[in-house]
A and B are shown apart, each in its own frame.
Chain A
Amino acid sequence: MDNILMRSNRIRLYALTGGRTRPRHHLLVETLISVPHYDPQLSASLLPESQALYELARKTISMAELSAHLTIPLAVVRVLISDLAARDVVFIHPTGFVYQYDQIILERILDGLKKLPV
């Protein structure tokens, strides 16, 4: 493994976030992200890492998956997604806490689990 390359890559990613590591939104590993109205022009105008996040989020995806697919540290994904959300180009889904007490969605989850072909 090339440690020097890894380190410089890491430095570059943190430089990309302007040294910020604290996102403005509460983004957990399980937080889901999506693009409500995809705009190819906007996508083309983004920096490569943000563009990659924006493209992946065209289909609802978790913070964990974004980090893993792009091999970008979660802390960096948080800052970049937070910036995109501040521009209203990505949507941060409310976490399961909202659904925890929603019997209808829980019923549907249970029903879905019972129908899984296992």
Chain B
Amino acid sequence: MGKTTFVGSVSETEPITVETTTDVGRISLHQDVVLYLFGTSDPSQAGFAGTLGAVVLVDPRRVEDAFATINYFENSSEVPFIVAINKFDGELHHELDELREALALGPGVPLTTCDARDSESAVYTLQKLVAHTMNVGGSDHGSPPEVPG
């Protein structure tokens, strides 16, 4: 929910759509580093094995719609992910703890809020994702990298 909006908020190019379900955007971060964003409603079909991480956008009015996606990332994927409640109407009607419980999120999965229409909020969400990837990176592969601090 809100994936097209989210990608559109942060992409420096007009998001493009491939194979009907994927929105693609890009952000040039340094001269030699470009971050690509892919919005999809079915990550299991998208095959994003190579991604740095995933943001699961949740509509707070229909949390159950996110179950399949969260199950996929928890059980069938190595991709680090965070969950972001999309506050499209600017308000959150539940406490985050309640939402964490409703989503049956494991304690290791960061839960945050964002407004997909707001580029600052979307970028901040991406920062949280990268920080999470840095924290979990390599933990399932026998050689966890040193995390400073």
Contact = CB atoms under 8 A, between A and B. Distances in A.
Interface of A: 28-32, 60, 62, 64-65, 67-69, 74, 94-101, 103, 105-116, 118
Interface of B: 10, 16-19, 22, 24, 26-27, 29-30, 33-36, 38, 46-53, 80, 119-120, 123, 126-127, 130-131, 133-134, 137-138, 141, 143, 145-147
Contacts of B141: 101
Contacts of A95: 49-51
Given A103-B137, A116-B10, 17 more contacts: A29-B22, A62-B26, A64-B16, A74-B18, A95-B49, A96-B51, A96-B52, A97-B50, A100-B137, A106-B52, A108-B29, A109-B33, A109-B52, A113-B35, A113-B123, A115-B29, A116-B27
Main secondary structure of the interface of B (DSSP, over half): mixed
30 contacts: A28-B48, A28-B50, A29-B24, A29-B38, A30-B38, A30-B50, A62-B36, A64-B22, A65-B16, A65-B24, A68-B17, A68-B24, A95-B49, A95-B50, A96-B52, A100-B52, A100-B133, A100-B137, A101-B138, A101-B141, A101-B143, A103-B134, A103-B145, A106-B130, A106-B133, A108-B29, A112-B33, A114-B127, A115-B29, A116-B123
